[in-house]
Amino acid sequence: VPDRVMLAEAELDLTTAMLGLPADPSFTETRQQPLAFLTQAREDLRGCMATEAPSHQPSGKLRHWLQKLQTAKETETAGCLEASAILHLFQVLNDLRCAALREQCT
């Protein structure tokens, strides 16, 4: 379960970073509400991890995924990362749902 929370937090970090990038003025206002929601969800997850599993070490699979994400952040263009975040937004929301449901989510 802590791995799922860490995964959702990392996905939310990327998604909120991409939503926070400068955008076409016509789109800036539209994305403020999702950005605020996802930012709050990320902060809630951080609070949860700090109190429930402060010293949790991610599994090897999650560590590998987090390393790949970090490499992508350092090597990919902002446009590529933004497209990826948008394409995976529903997966982010599903991981967030699973983090909230804890053991009930498979």
The secondary structure of the chain as a DSSP string is -HHHHHHHHHHHHHHHHHHTS---HHHHTTTHHHHHHHHHHHHHHHHHHHHH-TTPPPPHHHHHHHHHHHHHHHHS-HHHHHHHHHHTHHHHHHHHHHHHHGGG--
Q: What is the pLDDT of residue 104?
A: 67
**What's the pLDDT band for 6 if we cut at 50, 70, 90?**
confident
Region 9-37 average pLDDT = 85
Domain borders along the chain are: 1-104
Predicted local confidence at residue 99, as pLDDT: 77
Q: Is the pLDDT of residue 106 over 60?
A: no
CA distance 98 to 95: 5
pLDDT digits (tens, 9 = 90+) for 35-85: 898 899 888 888 877 776 667 788 899 999 999 999 999 999 988 988 888
